[in-house]
Structure 1
Amino acid sequence: MADLQDEPHSVGIGAEDVPAPSDTAACALERAAALLSVHPVADGCNTLVWTLRQSPYHDIDKPGDSGVDTDLPRLRAGGVGAQFWSLLTPHGAGTPTGQVVSDTLEQIDVALALIRRYPDSLCLALTADDMADARNRGRIASFLGPVPGEAVTDSLGPLHAFHALGVRILAPAGAPWAQQDLTAFGHEVVQEANRLGIVLDLTGCPPTAARQIATASKAPVVVSNTAAAALNPHPGNVTDEVLLALREANGLAMVTFDATRTGDSLHAVADHVDHVRAVAGPQGVGLGAAFGTERGTSRPTGLTDPSGYPHLIAELLDRGWPEADLALLTWGNAQRVLRDAEFTSRAAHHRRSPSS
Structure 2
Amino acid sequence: MVDNYYLSNKKPHRIAGKKQQGFTLVELMISLVLGLLISVAVVQVYIANVKAVTLQDAGSSIIDSNVFGIPVLEEHVRLANLGLADTINDTNQGAGVVLTQTGNLKDIKLTGNKDIPLTLLTNTGDVTPVGTDNEWTGMTATDTVSGQLTIQFRAPQNMFDCEGKLALGPREVNINEVKKIIDGQIVIERYYLNAQDATKPNQLSLYCDAGRYITEDMDDYDEQGQAKKPSTVLANKNIIKNFGDKGEVIVQNVDYFDILLGTKEGSDIQYYTTAEYAGLTDKPDIISIKTGGIIRSNNVVQTSELADSFVVLGNTVSLKADATAAEKKYLRFVFQNEIALRNARQKYS
TM-score (norm 1): 0.25
Structure number with larger C-alpha Rg: 2
Q: Which has the higher helix share?
A: 1
TM-score (norm 2): 0.26
Q: Higher relative contact order at CA 8 Å, sep ≥6: structure 1 or structure 2?
A: 1
Q: Which has the higher strand share?
A: 2
